[in-house]
Amino acid sequence: MNIKIVCVGKLKEKYLKQGIAEYSKRLSKFCKFEIIEVPDEKAPEKLSPAEMEAVKQKEGERILHKIKDKEYVYALAIEGKERSSEEFAAELEKLGTYGHSDVTFVIGGSLGLSPVVLKRAQTKISFGRFTLPHQLMRLVLTEQIYRGFMINNGSPYHK
């Protein structure tokens, strides 16, 4: 299975990089795993709704350029469906079983994802109603993907 995270912006915090590197290394036993960063669109603090949409659109175009037609796409979105770790693990296993060996997760920038990216996604997933920094979400998502593989392999890690 090939798993990719496409995300907006650069990861600057050393502690997040270290955590992601650790889970990436662990994931290498189960899948080909990569994280692709696309540049965030520079924007002033106060934007009109139209300016916000323009920022999301530009970031969305960059995201879509990193996704191939055959990829099964999860969009991380607050309005997405919440799952337990076990439900998520079962979904990953089912995707692999039914021929979706290329799975991509998309994490938007600080303003979220553009409508075109949300439309491209087959599934929207939410990690709850909390607002988390998108850099921290990379670590959380990477850990949950690893946890999913551990659950599917009967490991006690997830308990």
Residues of the binding site for S-adenosyl-L-methionine:
76, 108
Query: Which residue spans within the chain are E strands per DSSP?
Result: 2-8, 32-38, 72-82, 102-107, 123-126
Angle between helices 134-152 and 14-27 (to 10 degrees): 20
Q: Kindly give, in sequence order, each residue whose CB lies less than 8 Å from that of residue 132, ignoring residues fewer than 6 positions away.
A: 140
Binding residue numbers? 76, 108
Q: Whole-angstrom Cα distance, residue 102 to residue 106?
A: 13
Phi, psi for 75 (deg, rounded to 5): -100, 130
